[in-house]
Chains A and B, each alone.
Chain A
Amino acid sequence: MSFLELTNVTKQFGRLSAIEDINLSVNQGEVLGIVGPNGSGKSTLINVMTSYYRPTSGSIYFKGRKISGLRPDKIAALGIARTFQSNILFEGATVLESVMVSAYLQYKTNNLQSFLRTKAYRDEYEKIVGKVLDLLKMLELFNDTFLPASGLSHGYQRMLGIAIALASGPKVLLLDEPTTGMNHEEAMFVVENIRKINETGVTVILIEHNMKVLLDLATRVAVLNFGIKIAEGKPKEVMNKREVIEAYLGTETI
């Protein structure tokens, strides 16, 4: 069994199958691109993988362990982190606070130690502050450390979303259209960072509309259409398949 595996996964909303009978294997260390027209079920795929929704049927395995049906926090604790398609923030928090509370899983000390401020806790806290600041530097959020997150521009809010997901120290990172609404320069900055993150050994699953980004980054691509996986393989080859071009005609231009 591969690193992360979906077998016959279906998610229905009422009578509509947002994704249907999806089989998908993800290899450790790769960047898997997910593409498809609007409403084809890409976000739903990430949502069932992180238990935002329970799949209607089918199973998901991570390192051989069944994770479908687990609570979202359990899945995060196993090392699967995600971003959201819209800018979802901690209301009223600054950039630093947002990322600090998101580093929850990095602590080994328990709540009692933190309440009593033992030396072990304070040392660990300092270490995590350091890591968080490094993360903010990497994603160019450092200048905004003490600003309220809601005041950031759209592009930087997207960046903060990635920082929040990374703060948990994941082994797998699921990115739902990280570059939407960004200009070319910002998008390329994100691409650079996704590459860097991937080079540290993090497996990445990337939903992306921007073909340039996708072809730059993805080692493999899966294509969805009306909730069904219609193709999978090397990015260049897949994008030239007839079904894929047809799926996109009228909705997107490649």
Chain B
Amino acid sequence: MMIKYIDWKVTIPRIVAAVPIAILVFIPVFSTSRDTLSIIILSGVWVIAAMGFAMILRTGQFSMGQAAFMAIGGYASAILTVKMGWSFWPSFFMAGVISGIIALIIGSVVLRVGNIYFSIITLSFGEIVRILAQNLEGITHGARGLIPPSPEPIVLGSFEINFDASVVPYYYFMILLVAITSLVFWQINRSRLGGTFFSLAANQILAEHQGIYLMKYRVIAFTVAGIFTGFAGAFYAHFLEIITPYMLGLWESIQIMIMSIVGGVSSLVAGPLVGAVLLKVLSVYLSRLPVYGIHALLFGGAVVLVLVFLPKGTGLIDLWKKFWRKVFNEPEWYEIPSIDE
């Protein structure tokens, strides 16, 4: 007979974390309000982008152009559907592929450059993408942008999932997309790749002297982030039914960065998830206040608070771990496995 040992110190935090996730999945049962669901759907887009940022940061690079990959994904899918007459699903798939390929090509060149220079280059890359979108009138419709259609209905026997009738199909599509992204990132994190990324973040020089080729892992991280950020961007464009050169610029890249940092980059999944959802939801509600620049104030304020009051390199998710350490009266070094694990 096998007795499975249950480690409550791991299980209880997981059960508690599962509650909000379960609630999220069932929200449409209680409310199909377009407003409420849209907030969560849009949060999901940023969750994915923030996870990508966190993974790139693992390899020691600070990307300031992640919104550009959303734009690439959004435009790719919009051009394929509007201009080439493709249907939604293959276009959506290709958006991730194209964004990934561009990340791979750009990454292979610019990831060689370290630190602040990489940030400046990615920032410029974002601007280049915006200018191209603006000027390639023929395929992007310039400043007017493109109006991509909503996905075709999915027919399952007598049951039809219609994306035009309500936002609920989008809601579950987004939950699925976030779930798949989280699963892939989580699996990467616990595979040898995760260990390698970790070692590069923990001590790049030592890691290189142990035989790890820095560039290879930077390119892998950048490309994986590019693929999923591209999917997020395509979703964004189809959900909002518009993509213009001004939707995804530097400010959006900065938001992605702030979301991951506020949530905490010690975990690839849970930190960015918490940061993106929290900041997106707050910013939607706060922007209803009649205060000029409240959006920037929120993001700026949140990142300042986290950087000033939390120990270096930690975010809100680390407070969660700390909380459970206190609950179980564990010494500081006992690592409560994060929700990721």
A interface residues, Cβ below 8 angstroms from B? 50, 52, 71-74, 76-77, 81-82, 84, 88-94, 97, 100-102, 104-105, 107, 111, 114-115, 117, 121, 125, 147-148, 151, 164, 167-168
For the complex of A and B, list the 10 residue pairs with the smallest distance between their C-beta atoms, beginning with the closest.
A76-B211, A90-B202, A101-B199, A114-B192, A105-B211, A114-B191, A91-B202, A72-B208, A102-B210, A73-B213
For the A-B complex, the count of residue pairs with Cβ-Cβ distances under 8 Å equals: 87
Q: Which residues of B contact A114 (CB under 8 A)?
A: 191-193
Q: Which residues of B contact A76 (CB under 8 A)?
A: 208-211
Q: Which of B38-57 contact A (CB under 8 A)?
A: none
Of all chain A residues, the one with the shortest Cβ separation from B332 is: A148
Of all chain A residues, the one with the shortest Cβ separation from B213 is: A73
Q: Which residues of A contact B192 (CB under 8 A)?
A: 104, 107, 111, 114, 121, 125
Give the residue of A97, A104, A117 whose beta carbon is less than 8 angstroms from that of B211: A104
20 contacts between A and B (CB under 8 A): A72-B209, A77-B211, A88-B205, A90-B199, A91-B202, A93-B198, A94-B335, A100-B195, A101-B198, A101-B199, A102-B199, A104-B192, A104-B210, A104-B211, A105-B210, A111-B192, A115-B188, A115-B191, A147-B333, A164-B206
Q: Which residues of B contact A168 (CB under 8 A)?
A: 210-211
Please determine whether B196 and A101 come into contact, CB atoms closer than 8 angstroms. Answer: yes
B interface residues, Cβ below 8 angstroms from A? 187-188, 191-193, 195-196, 198-199, 202-203, 205-214, 220, 333, 335
Q: Which residues of A contact B188 (CB under 8 A)?
A: 115
Of all chain B residues, the one with the shortest Cβ separation from A106 is: B211
Please determine whether B209 and A50 come into contact, CB atoms closer than 8 angstroms. Answer: yes
Q: Which residues of A contact B187 (CB under 8 A)?
A: 115
Q: Which residues of A contact B213 (CB under 8 A)?
A: 71, 73-74
Q: Which residues of B contact A125 (CB under 8 A)?
A: 192
Q: Which residues of B contact A97 (CB under 8 A)?
A: 195, 198
In whole Å, how far is A42's beta carbon from the nearest beta carbon of chain B? Answer: 17
Which has the most chain A C-beta neighbours within 10 Å: B192, B203, B208, B335? B192
Q: How far is the CA of A89 from the CA of B210 in the complex (A)?
A: 12
Q: How far is the CA of A70 from the CA of B333 in the complex (A)?
A: 38
Give the residue of A52, A93, A121, A151 whose beta carbon is less than 8 angstroms from that of B202: A93
Contact flag A111-B203 (CB < 8 Å), given A73-B208, A82-B209, A167-B210: no
Q: Which residues of B contact A148 (CB under 8 A)?
A: 333
Contact flag A92-B211 (CB < 8 Å), given A101-B195, A147-B333, A151-B333: no
Please determine whether B207 and A101 come into contact, CB atoms closer than 8 angstroms. Answer: yes
